[in-house]
Amino acid sequence: MVGSIDRIKELTQKLDDRIALKHSLGEDENIDDLSPNENLRDIRKENIRIVNDLYMKLDIYTKSPDFGEIFLYKAMNLSGVGLKEEDFGEVREGKYIQIIAITYEPDKNGKKKAKNISLGYFGKAQTLDPELKNDIIEFVLRWRYEKAFQTLGHYKDLIARLDAPITIEL
C-alpha cells in the first residue's frame, strides 16, 4: 500500500524536477542530452505501459474497449477516496469507489455539458482491498500524468504557432 503511494510521489517529484530543469535550460541546451536514465520519453513510455497494465487489471476495458480512447476524456476523477494532499488515499466513510471519466457533449440546445462516465465500480470504500485501492489510485494518477504530457504537447504546438505572425484580414 505505502509502496505504491511512495512510488507515485517519487515519480511526481521527478517530473516536477525535470520540468523545473527544462525551464532553467538555455536555448542551446536540450533536456534529451541529459542523463538517459532520466529521459522524459522513457518516463512517459513506462507510464503508458503501467496505465495499460492497470487498465487490464482493473477491467476498465469492459467499459472502454479501446485503450487509446481513454485519453480522449477531458478529465478523470475518483469517488470514495481522497486524492488531495490533505486526504490522499483516505477512504470516505459510507462511500463507494468508482473511477469517473468526464467528457463534454452538446445538449439539445448545442451547449456543452459535462457528462460523467463510470469506467469502474469497485464497491464500498471500507471493504476494498488496500492493494486494489492503490491500483485504482495509481491508474487515475498515471492517466492524469499522461494527459498532462498530451496537454503540454498541445500548448507547445500553440506556442510554436506564435513564431509566425498572426494577421487579420479585413
Residue 87, in any domain of the structure: yes
Task: Assess contact for 56 and 65: CB atoms under 8 A.
Answer: no
Q: Give the percent of the chain with pLDDT over 90.
A: 29
Residue 76, in any domain of the structure: yes
Cα–Cα dist 65/68, whole Å: 9
Q: Which of 105, 96, 99 is nearest to 62 (CA)?
A: 99
Residue 114 scores a pLDDT above 80? yes
Amino acid identity of residue 21, one-letter, is L
Total structural domains in the chain? 1
Residue 166, in any domain of the structure: no
| DSSP for residue 134 | H
Convert the pLDDT of each residue in 130-163 to its tens digit.
899 999 999 999 999 998 888 877 777 778 878 7
Structural domain that includes position 124: 2-161
- Sorted by sequence, the CB contacts under 8 Å of residue 52 that are 6+ apart come out as 67
Residue 6 scores a pLDDT above 80? no
pLDDT of residue 148: 87
Residue 18, in any domain of the structure: yes
Cα–Cα dist 93/66, whole Å: 33
* Rounded to 5°, angle at Cα 133 from 82 and 124: 80
pLDDT confidence tier of residue 127, bands split at 50, 70 and 90: confident
Amino acid identity of residue 77, one-letter, is N
Residue 61: HSE in the Cβ half-sphere, 13 Å Cα cutoff: 11
Q: Which residue has the higher pLDDT, 10 or 148?
A: 148
pLDDT of residue 131: 92
- Phi, psi of 65, deg, nearest 5: -65, -25
Residue 2 scores a pLDDT above 90? no
Cα–Cα dist 150/13, whole Å: 19
Mean pLDDT of 14-18: 64
Residue 168, in any domain of the structure: no
Average pLDDT, the chain: 80
Residue 11, in any domain of the structure: yes
Residue 170, in any domain of the structure: no
Residue 167, in any domain of the structure: no
Mean pLDDT of 100-121: 88
